[in-house]
Structure 1
């Protein structure tokens, strides 16, 4: 097969391929960029594989950076672009189910491609647009099948993260999993406990926010792999409630997706759960707030104080979850209540503790903090104007 019109991302990188070839080596575009080009999907990173060894690659180009030279990767800086050029390689036994104990550089493209995860990612593209397909990846693209290269269990024993990547690719592409590949994923699922939580989170997060997240999640649950993810043992039945939301619903953010997942799991301590997933404090805070907003909305509509407490986009995201569940929603009222607030942050108040100390001789401490809170609440509820004279009079009445 030949791509008649190379996408612009490849055209921009052609000088790199040609320089390597002119130096007497082979060079190809490989991996996800080739797959996405064939599927007419947006191309992100363009990766290049070459028969040139790292030191040989560095001699070809004036500007390079060693980004993973022990694994054969050199970053080439060319025409204001950066390209990772990786030497064809084979890999020895994986000692930790994630990284090979040793990498051997080779001159064979076939040896390089046979170590990759799925057939649709084991395609190469030359400078003329010819697709090199040694493992029937084109047929699997045509038939929308995710199939491991070679013996599936070997691929997942080499790198157990490939199990989560498989479910993530399914969620992104909507493909079906090859039966043997799925059975191997199911068999090797316990190895996920060997993988760093941070890497697992990235794949799970991409799954949840992908176009076909339902498909990926269903396969994940069917495999039993959730039993080997942090705090998710025996959670299949709870997670299946996520499929009760509208079929065409697409999560608009990672925070919204994880909030929905945590509510399905009926998690009481959101921050504790997400800490086990090694997420950032900011992410934990935003997910927790979406869950809190959703819980409030189960009881009543958000009043002014509650609209003031939360960011507008988080309130909208919680309302979107309700909408996806077929519950009553009122986006217009959320916007109007939020817009009616005279302040959206306490720093907008025209007085502060220092001014009150100066004007009234207050001492720093809890009493002053309580007074500032009363001022803030009164302004938010519209019973006090955010003007200096009005606030000073308000304080004078409470002395």
Structure 2
């Protein structure tokens, strides 16, 4: 069912203080209306809540299933059973909604958040039916809740790999995402919008807690789009989504203002048929990740444009372990003069096939007063380990715009960008 034009817009306040710069929204679960805060992630499709944050045994609405999920991200991952229960987002409620209970989590995947709300498409929401296997093992009824498999307090890559082998005994099936259910039941229109200003937590001693700082707040508008004129000004710039899995887009190249375009490997037809492209738009990514070659060329452009760029960027260049450590430490912000740092231009394929350029100013790719007052962090990195040469376009660019994920516009949808109002 497609929502009517006057369908409710579900306005969810956001905070970036629990997930290392990623934004979380509140959801209520089960008969006890337990509140949890979940990472808002357009780079995945699963609704997952850590089992320790939700008293499942007291939920009178809970119905166990024979399904389990294992989801791996660029960094981190988790596994656990799937249950059905009632959820509430703002004033909207959905009964019998699929919720994964995170039984084992690797690498503190969600930081201090309670789980994740995936906003991408259903093909990413894979689950595995273990009914046959559990029956053969004498588990009756053959449900995955309570969790019938060996469990560790902290999952390792080895644990996740072992569970993947166990999946060979199960049948794979895709689950509808929570947002699919909201749109299909007519609760809200099949689109959502993001309003935010940062990709790292802003630390200001004038506030008793970072959550009180307006720079660390935002909005997720489920069902909201171009009618929300209080959040933007001017015209929209529209990207064509190439496949209904991730929000796959085609990145042509990038450069610093005034320098030559760094071309990236294009999205060929075979890649698109396989459900991918050379870039995705990801609200759950607090950095922008570029293919190794493109990242190296961009660092060269910075060295040519800014006198002390090589020295200041050195802590943020290297493997993912080094990058994470640099984000947690930062550099002395007094070494930075943002006026010296050119904007980064990202050149995409627009909705009509013509090139479309979005700009990321220095104030967005450098985050001041993070991770502490007087510090600064750089918000781009090279290619993730075991990742294809695909760009992950995260919050450093998205925070510069009012962004609409318009899933009901064309076959696979569009992502639209407009200048924010009142900044």
Q: Normalised by the shorter chain, which TM-score bucket?
A: under 0.3
Q: Which has the higher strand share?
A: 2
Q: Which has the higher contact order (CA 8 A, sep 6+)?
A: 2
The TM-score with structure 1 as length reference comes to: 0.23
TM-score, normalization: structure 2? Answer: 0.22
Higher helix share: 1
Which structure has the larger Rg? 1
